[in-house]
């Protein structure tokens, strides 16, 4: 395993990777995937990519072109310093000023956070991925080059374009799960510092991974969804989903659109509509069966609850959040219910809490709560035996550790899964591990980034999933269900199951929470969960 000797290496060894993982040195997974040699081979970066872009480690997320002139080099350094200074300004960074300064000033560099980071751990404790490695570089740059303090006070570092470019790249080696922050005795937050580095890159320098900016928030603001779906297409798709769902359930449904004055505006992550149509279909089946007054919106942005700004850019974040609120205001709904999407939950409920005012301050509720209330109300006839298979639950970081929504999903599972079939992952709840797709990784796949994500960020979650089913037969015909009530987490879990062929080899399947409810509804034909790999 190659790793940096020091934080000072960041600007040294130009063109060389600072860290490389030997897959045969990684900690083996639990059975039946416990032979490292049987694991898929890690795809290498192409020589062309190494030539063209700044190199940090085994992969590339941001695609920062190597500067060709001194002016371009200076622009990187000066842009970074200018952005860093703005992070300390009330005007430019009131949004995070206090948490940011707290983490910059008070980290004791005690390393209490290191073991909590699944990336650091699964890398074999590679120094580059230590949670404070990037924070320490940021801190030293700030104190030495902006505050002009003596390196004797805060440590030394050389600043050149390579330091800056690698640091930006390194900010995309963190899932922003904030597990590290949870362990900090003082309250410093290395996850936040990763995000603040991303902000400098995006908001000051215009450097962002294409998938989350151009193909993400920009596309969403332009056409309504990062999936590219326009209002017309989304209505067509939902109509098709209604028909398909009705065929599967035997219960006719018609998803309501743009119902003025409905109680609930339900906003899905539009990825569900494209990749997991059974999820919006199940929501429609459930809400109709419960007799709720609800609607979807076909207004631009009204049908896609994603807000990628939470990962990298406060202005893009605010733009999307305001548009979501405007859609709800236009419909005159009583509340917005967020579908199974963790970051959409946090974005609109918690972060936007300090952005939306006046008539845009419309109450927001988690679908976990809405569904729990339906189940609690007794309006549904539920047959638990329809879910008679092993089930484990993934806790999406945004919904659980960062919002405290822990018990509703468990109460639902208790009501729809037979006793003894549900098992918690270890650890779970607010101490969960990220799925590995957090902070945009689930949708990032340039070069060999997807492979890197499977080997590094998603590995701990896959380990947990396997561990949770160790008391079950790993026969592929003995189906096991990973319930992931979050679209991005589901995408990541799908990808990692696919990477290891875990459905074919061990019968491990995945899906959302609402599907488990509908699968247990007596009024619905059996077999809503069809155990077909997709």
Partner 1 sequence: MMTTLAYVVAYLGIVFFLIACIARFMMWSKMPMHVRWELYPVAHEGGGKAEYGGSYLEDSEWWSKKREVSLVGELKVMVPEILFLVALREHNKKLWTRSFPFHFGLYLVGGATALMLFAGLIVGYGPDSIGNPVAELMGWVLPVLGGAGLVLGILGAVGLVLRRMARELSDYTAPADLFNLVFFIVAFGVALVTFVGFDRDFSMVGSFVTNLVTFNLAPIGDGTAGLMLVLSVVLLAVLVAYIPTTHMSHFIGKYFAYHSIRWQDDPNLPGGKQEKIIQELLSRPVTWSAPHIGADGKKSWLDVTLEDQDK
**Looking only at residues 470 through 509 of this chain, which bind partner 1 when binding is defined by CB under 8 A?**
none
User: Which of the ranges 39-47, 54-62, 254-262, 402-410 carries the binding residues for partner 1, by CB under 8 A?
Assistant: 402-410
User: Which of the ranges 47-55, 167-175, 183-191, 452-460 carries the binding residues for partner 1, by CB under 8 A?
Assistant: 183-191
Among 241, 380, 400, 517, binds partner 1 (CB under 8 A): 400
User: Which of the ranges 1-9, 167-175, 278-286, 415-423 carries the binding residues for partner 1, by CB under 8 A?
Assistant: 1-9
Among 2, 12, 50, 86, binds partner 1 (CB under 8 A): 86
Question: CB-based contacts of 306: which residues, under 8 Å, 6+ apart?
Answer: 216, 220, 225, 226, 269, 270, 271, 320, 341, 343, 344, 487
CA–CA gap between residue 84 and residue 449 (Å, rounded): 27
Please identify, using beta-carbon distances, which residue of 118 and 507 lies nearer to partner 1.
118
Place of tokens 């902006």: 146
CA–CA gap between residue 197 and residue 178 (Å, rounded): 15
Among 19, 188, 284, 434, binds partner 1 (CB under 8 A): 188
Among 1, 24, 27, 110, binds partner 1 (CB under 8 A): 110
In angstroms, give the least distance from the CB of 83 to partner 1: 8
State yes or no: residue 146 binds partner 1 (CB under 8 A).
Answer: no
State yes or no: residue 293 binds partner 1 (CB under 8 A).
Answer: no
User: Which of the ranges 42-50, 57-65, 152-160, 466-474 carries the binding residues for partner 1, by CB under 8 A?
Assistant: 152-160
CA–CA gap between residue 198 and residue 169 (Å, rounded): 9
Please identify, using beta-carbon distances, which residue of 400 and 502 lies nearer to partner 1.
400
Please identify, using beta-carbon distances, which residue of 418 and 429 lies nearer to partner 1.
429
Q: Indicate the helix (H) or strand (E) that contains 485.
A: none
CA–CA gap between residue 300 and residue 255 (Å, rounded): 18
Please identify, using beta-carbon distances, which residue of 122 and 204 lies nearer to partner 1.
204
Strand positions, DSSP E, 174-274: 264-267
Q: Which parts of 360-399 interact with partner 1 (CB under 8 A)?
A: 361, 363, 365-366, 368-370, 373
Please identify, using beta-carbon distances, which residue of 364 and 494 lies nearer to partner 1.
364
Among 68, 71, 91, 471, binds partner 1 (CB under 8 A): 91
State yes or no: residue 302 binds partner 1 (CB under 8 A).
Answer: no
CA–CA gap between residue 456 and residue 435 (Å, rounded): 11
Strand positions, DSSP E, 394-434: 422-423
State yes or no: residue 405 binds partner 1 (CB under 8 A).
Answer: yes
Please identify, using beta-carbon distances, which residue of 26 and 349 lies nearer to partner 1.
349
In angstroms, give the least distance from the CB of 462 to partner 1: 24
Phi, psi of 364 (to 5 degrees): -120, 140
Q: Which parts of 200-259 interact with partner 1 (CB under 8 A)?
A: 202-206, 213, 218, 221
Q: Angle at Cα 497 formed by Cα 392 and Cα 219, nearest 5°?
A: 100
Phi, psi of 487 (to 5 degrees): -65, -45
Q: Which of 254, 272, 256, 252 is nearest to 264 (CA)?
A: 256
Q: From its phi and psi, is residue 405 left (phi > 0), alpha (psi between -120 and 50) or beta? A: beta
């Amino acid at each position: 395993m190659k790793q940096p000797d020091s934080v000072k290496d960041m600007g040294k060894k130009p063109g060389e990777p600072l860290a490389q993982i030997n897959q045969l040195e990684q900690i083996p997974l639990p059975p039946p995937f416990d032979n490292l040699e049987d694991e898929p081979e890690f795809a290498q970066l192409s020589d062309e990519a190494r030539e063209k872009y700044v190199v940090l480690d085994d992969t590339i997320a941001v695609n920062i072109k190597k500067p060709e002139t001194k002016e371009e080099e200076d622009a990187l350094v000066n842009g970074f310093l200018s952005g860093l200074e703005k992070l300390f300004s009330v005007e430019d960074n009131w949004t995070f000023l206090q948490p940011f300064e707290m983490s910059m000033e008070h980290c004791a560099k005690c390393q209490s956070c290191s073991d909590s980071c699944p990336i650091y751990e699964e890398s074999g404790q590679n120094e580059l991925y230590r949670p404070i490695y990037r924070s320490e570089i940021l801190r030293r740059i700030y104190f030495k080059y902006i505050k002009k303090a003596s390196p004797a006070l805060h440590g030394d570092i050389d600043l050149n374009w390579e330091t800056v470019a690698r640091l930006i790249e390194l900010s995309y080696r963190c899932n922003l799960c904030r597990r590290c922050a949870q362990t900090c005795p003082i309250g410093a937050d290395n996850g936040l510092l990763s995000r603040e580095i991303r902000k400098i890159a995006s908001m000051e320098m215009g450097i962002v991974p294409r998938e989350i900016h151009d193909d993400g928030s920009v596309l969403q603001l332009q056409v309504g969804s990062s999936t590219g779906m326009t209002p017309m297409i989304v209505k067509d798709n939902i109509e098709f989903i209604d028909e398909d769902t009705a065929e599967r359930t035997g219960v006719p449904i018609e998803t309501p659109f743009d119902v003025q004055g409905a109680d609930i505006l339900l906003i899905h992550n539009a990825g569900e509509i494209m990749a997991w149509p059974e999820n919006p279909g199940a929501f429609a089946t459930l809400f109709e069966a419960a007799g709720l007054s609800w609607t979807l919106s076909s207004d631009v942005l009204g049908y896609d609850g994603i807000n990628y700004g939470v990962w990298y850019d406060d202005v893009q974040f605010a733009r999307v959040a305001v548009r979501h609120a405007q859609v709800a205001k236009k419909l005159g709904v009583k509340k917005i219910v967020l579908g199974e999407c963790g970051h959409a939950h946090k974005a609109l409920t918690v972060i936007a809490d300090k952005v939306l005012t006046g008539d845009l301050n419309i109450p927001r509720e988690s679908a976990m709560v809405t569904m729990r209330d339906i189940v609690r109300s007794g309006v549904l006839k539920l047959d638990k035996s329809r879910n008679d298979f092993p089930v484990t639950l993934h806790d999406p970081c945004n919904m659980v550790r960062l919002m405290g929504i822990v018990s509703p999903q468990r109460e639902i599972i208790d009501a729809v899964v037979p006793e003894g079939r549900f098992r918690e992952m270890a650890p779970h709840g607010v101490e969960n591990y990220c799925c590995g797709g957090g902070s945009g990784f689930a949708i990032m796949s340039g070069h060999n980034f997807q492979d890197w994500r499977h080997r590094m960020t998603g590995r701990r979650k896959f380990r947990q999933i396997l561990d949770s089913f160790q008391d079950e037969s790993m026969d592929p015909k003995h189906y096991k269900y990973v319930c992931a009530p979050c679209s991005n987490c589901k995408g990541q879990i799908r990808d990692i199951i696919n990477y290891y062929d875990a459905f074919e080899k061990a019968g491990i399947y995945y899906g959302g929470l609402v599907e488990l409810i509908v699968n247990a509804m007596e009024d619905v034909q059996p077999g809503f969960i069809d155990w077909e790999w997709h």
